[in-house]
Structure 1
Amino acid sequence: MTVPLATIDDVRRAEASIRPYFSSAPLIRSYPLERELSLPASRRVWLKDYGWTPTGSFKLMGALNWMARNLERIGDRPVAAHSSGNFASGISFAGMCFQRHVIVVMPESAPRIKFERTRSFGAEIRTYNIERDHLTGERERMTRDIAEKEGAIQASPYDDPHVIAGNGVGGLEIVRELQRENRKLSHFFCPISGGGLMSGHALAIADGFPEATIIGVEPDGANDFQKSLTAGQRVRLDRPSSICDGLLSYDVGVHNWPLLQRFVKQSVALPDESTRQAMRWIYDQHGLRTEPSGAIAVAAALSRQVDLSGDGDIVLTVSGRNADDEAFAKWIDLPPAAPQIG
């Protein structure tokens, strides 16, 4: 089956659609990571920090572009979507910007901050039990029922060319910033779940820095992309599990997989303990509070599983910061990172 795929031109067009509502997320140089990874003075490490956005994650980029491209089709009908929480707040933010009613289906166990952000932008929330979803499929059923019974237009959190293109705007920002600094890029680390973030970013990174190695990062209990890469086809997991609640898709999307297969040649899967240690490291070294999904790319670099040799810079995606206070404190309750000297 041939599916329409997002292109770099779609990413460039998406920027015009979302820029009135969203300013560039910062690209922050990480001096501590440069020391930690023993890089020569000629190379730099950068964190692309989407926790800075109004929704606390990258998800609003794809949501804004999807909403902008579907306004005529939506008309005065509601928009329905399912989400672990970050796309919920993203599509809610887009609904507020474009004055459309949004209904989102979220797990009962989603972090409180994700419920609060989503409601703050005006969306209606309905919940399901994620622990039994692998048996009941209630997440998909509830979303489909809203579309069929309430006349809603359904939005995918990742499996849609407009969502992919919108997310890719962040990749354009990375490319432009590095080019403005006359830098080269050797490695790009980014989390993969359904593939909406990585496929959009990979389009932009591969266009701007075709020599860069693009590395996908997943929890080892939710490594459907890694298994798909090995098999050469999409592999579905029966029950993904991890503290990274934003990385628990059953499989990568139909619209995402061809782009991921083309651009992402390497995958790293990490235990949750490594992600917790990265969360603590980022907090100790940068004062940033991240959610687990947001820290996993840094965890991959710290794990030394990837050969970082080369003469370009390294960019790590911090995809979000939406963690509840109590959960964050528990996750980083580890011995403090060793102080950096020099």
Structure 2
Amino acid sequence: MTIREVTIDDVRDAESVIREHLTPIPLIRSYSLERELGLPSHRRVWLKDYGWTPVGSFKLLGALYWMAKNLERIGDRPVAAHSSGNFASGISFAGMRYKKQVVVVMPESAPRVKFKLTRSFGAEVMTYDISRDHETGERDRITRELADERKAVQASPYDDPYVIAGNGVGGLEVVTELQQQGRDVSHFFCQVSGGGLMAGQAIAIADGFPSAKIIGVEPDGADDFRQSLAANKRTRVDHPQSICDGLLSYDVGEHNWPILRKFVTDAVAISELKTRGAMKWLYDTHGLRTEPSGAISTAALLSGQISTEGTGDIVVVISGRNVDEDRFQEWMTLPSDSK
């Protein structure tokens, strides 16, 4: 695989494409988090909430830019992709916008809301057993077969320069808005799975706020990036496990790793209980429904595992909110000894 460097110019080009489809994602000040952290009055906390996109997650940004940049290559062929669910709906929406057929491979255990969203934009859905995929490789096999048998063009949910640049548009929005307000950023908390979100965001944040500490957040049962950062090389977790279904990649992508290694200053692994606590906190305090993957960066901030000393503002990514009601209520019910 040839690794092409993704730059801030790529992110700016992606913004011009994405603006044809989406307005900027809200950046919401959290007075409650400022109080919770005991911050002085000159520091602020901001939530970048990608739940407001038409697909309920950040995945739409990279999917739209990837589709726009591959139209000639796709032609009359279908697009094939594997996804835990959020990229599935993102690439499905992009296919709808650009009038392209999309086929996605999703875990049969994915949240029902993610199946519903994906199909609502016109995609065909195929499923596999994620519990055995580390042994069978079924996900990748089905996706390859789609490419071979239907001549489909494969779209990576994270390991692709166009996906990275598209996702970076959200970070560029953060920079633009806070610079217009004359603000500075000292800490940026963002989820890491395959690394497509964090890589794109990190490029934009590091360009706009060079002194900001960029912190990657993962479940403690799927912390391949944290291990990679410690070992200074890509490290694979063969059987990632977490309620954060959107953060279960085996390792970070090859295109993502050089960017993450360059810009991300630290990584933290968060327990399931802390993630559930953050889901409940966001709902009780702000009325925000989040999926576990969406809430985990807030959990990292609330946990105190990373020092937030500094003089600038703190930005926390809420990556998505696609969660089934029954599971949401289950995860919101915390053990009595954790309250």
Same fold, judged at TM 0.5 (above): yes
| Residue 42 (structure 1) aligned with residue 39 (structure 2) | no
Once residues 78 and 137 of structure 1 are traced to their aligned partners in structure 2, the CA distance between those partners, rounded to angstroms, is: 22
> Aligned letter for 2:12?
R
Alignment match, 1:236: 236
| Residue 175 (structure 1) aligned with residue 169 (structure 2) | no
| Residue 219 (structure 1) aligned with residue 219 (structure 2) | yes
Alignment match, 1:206: 206
Alignment match, 1:324: 324
Alignment match, 1:89: 89
Alignment match, 1:141: 141
| Residue 62 (structure 1) aligned with residue 62 (structure 2) | yes
Alignment match, 2:284: 284
CA distance 1:124–1:159, shift in 2 (3 Å): same
Once residues 81 and 48 of structure 2 are traced to their aligned partners in structure 1, the CA distance between those partners, rounded to angstroms, is: 26
| Residue 312 (structure 1) aligned with residue 321 (structure 2) | no
Gap regions ≥5 residues in structure 2: none
Measured on the aligned residues, the alpha-carbon RMSD in Å equals 1.3
SS at match of 1:242: coil
> Over residues 59-97 of structure 1, what are the superposed CA-to-partner deviations in whole Å (9 max), with x where a residue is unaligned?
000000000000000001000000000000000000000
Alignment match, 2:14: 14
- Mapping 1:23-34, distance limit 5 Å: 23-34=23-34
Once residues 335 and 155 of structure 1 are traced to their aligned partners in structure 2, the CA distance between those partners, rounded to angstroms, is: 40
Q: CA deviation at 1:237?
A: 0.7
> Over residues 250-306 of structure 1, what are the superposed CA-to-partner deviations in whole Å (9 max), with x where a residue is unaligned?
000000000000000200101110000000000010000000000000000001011
Q: CA deviation at 1:334?
A: 2.5
- Mapping 1:296-311, distance limit 5 Å: 296-311=296-311
Alignment match, 2:258: 258
Q: CA deviation at 1:307?
A: 1.0
Once residues 251 and 65 of structure 2 are traced to their aligned partners in structure 1, the CA distance between those partners, rounded to angstroms, is: 23
Once residues 17 and 147 of structure 2 are traced to their aligned partners in structure 1, the CA distance between those partners, rounded to angstroms, is: 25
Once residues 14 and 53 of structure 2 are traced to their aligned partners in structure 1, the CA distance between those partners, rounded to angstroms, is: 17
Gap regions ≥5 residues in structure 1: 337-342
> Aligned letter for 2:208?
G
Once residues 291 and 216 of structure 1 are traced to their aligned partners in structure 2, the CA distance between those partners, rounded to angstroms, is: 18
> Over residues 188-242 of structure 1, what are the superposed CA-to-partner deviations in whole Å (9 max), with x where a residue is unaligned?
0000000000000000000000000000000000000000001110001110000
Once residues 204 and 3 of structure 2 are traced to their aligned partners in structure 1, the CA distance between those partners, rounded to angstroms, is: 20
CA distance 1:335–1:36, shift in 2 (3 Å): farther
Once residues 17 and 31 of structure 2 are traced to their aligned partners in structure 1, the CA distance between those partners, rounded to angstroms, is: 34
Alignment match, 2:99: 99
Once residues 145 and 249 of structure 2 are traced to their aligned partners in structure 1, the CA distance between those partners, rounded to angstroms, is: 20
Q: CA deviation at 1:180?
A: 1.1
Alignment match, 1:269: 269
> Aligned letter for 1:201?
Q
SS at match of 1:309: coil
| Residue 189 (structure 1) aligned with residue 189 (structure 2) | yes
Once residues 113 and 79 of structure 1 are traced to their aligned partners in structure 2, the CA distance between those partners, rounded to angstroms, is: 22
SS at match of 1:28: strand
SS at match of 1:238: coil
> Aligned letter for 1:132?
R
TM-score, length basis structure 2: 0.98
Once residues 323 and 107 of structure 1 are traced to their aligned partners in structure 2, the CA distance between those partners, rounded to angstroms, is: 15
Q: % of aligned pairs identical?
A: 68
> Aligned letter for 2:176?
R
> Aligned letter for 1:159?
D
SS at match of 1:222: coil
Once residues 3 and 49 of structure 2 are traced to their aligned partners in structure 1, the CA distance between those partners, rounded to angstroms, is: 31
Alignment match, 2:53: 53
Once residues 331 and 177 of structure 2 are traced to their aligned partners in structure 1, the CA distance between those partners, rounded to angstroms, is: 33
Once residues 228 and 130 of structure 2 are traced to their aligned partners in structure 1, the CA distance between those partners, rounded to angstroms, is: 23
> Aligned letter for 1:36?
E
> Aligned letter for 1:58?
F
Alignment match, 2:111: 111
Alignment match, 1:151: 151
SS at match of 1:165: helix
SS at match of 1:269: strand
Once residues 81 and 268 of structure 1 are traced to their aligned partners in structure 2, the CA distance between those partners, rounded to angstroms, is: 29
> Aligned letter for 1:197?
L
